[in-house]
Each structure stands twice: as structure tokens, then as C-alpha cells.
Amino acid sequence: MAEETFFRKIINKEIPSDMLYQDDYVTAFRDISPQAPTHILIIPNKLIATANDIETEDEVLIGKLYTAAKKLALQEGIAESGYRLIMNCNRDGGQEVYHIHLHLVGGKPLGRLISV
């Protein structure tokens, strides 16, 4: 079982955030250390620690993260110019909070993430 994180407190509005979107499935808010002009975290309201912990029954929920990202990109005015969606997994993948979250990053040219 995953441990509770401060994201749960944001979902429950127990601590302040610059919340942009919330429904029964997902919550989205601005990152407190933005890496681009637009940097939003989109999290499931259900606690799932890492991408490795996503189960078959979570497939619809994960889809809702991406449809929320689409809505937010339109709202932020970056849908047409482009943006990046990132989900880190575990320590070597750069995950810092063990409650999965999708980073919506844009508002400037981002360049290549890695060379492939």
C-alpha cells in the first residue's frame, strides 16, 4: 500500500495550492518550482505510488489525466504551439513524490528531452 503524501492534502484542500482543475477523478495545480512558463501537475485523486503500481482497473483514471491535460493546455493557450507531458517513475526516473503525477510543461520551446 502506498503512503499518503502532501498531494492528498492538496486534493482535500487542506493546504493551499494554485488549483486549476478538480473533478471526481483528478486534481491539477501549478508546480511550485516551475520549469517553464506553464508547469502544471495533474494527479489522480486515487493514491497510486508509481507508474509500476497502475493496475488494469486504473486505465480509465489514467486516461482522465490526459484529457485533463488537453483541457488545461487549451485553457493555458499552449495547445497549438505545443507542450510536453511527463510522468517520472521511481528514483532513477526522477520521481520525487510517490503519488503519480503528470507534468504539463510548455509556454516556450522546450527542445529535445533526450537524444534517441
Q: Tens digits of per-residue pLDDT, 17-55?
A: 999 999 999 999 999 999 999 999 999 999 999 999 999
Mean of pLDDT over the chain = 93
pLDDT at 1: 46
Secondary structure of residue 16 in the 3-state scheme = coil
The H or E element that residue 64 is part of is helix 59-76
- pLDDT confidence of 4, banded at 50, 70, 90? confident
Residue with cell 489525466: 65
Instruction: Say how far apart CA 55 and CA 50 lie, in whole Å.
Output: 11
101 is catalytic: yes
Handedness of CA 50, 92, 33, 39 (dihedral sign): negative
Sorted by where each starts, the structural domains of the chain and their CATH numbers stand as 6-106 (3.30.428.10)
> Pick the catalytic residue: 39, 99, 101, 103?
101
Say whether pTM exceeds 0.85.
yes
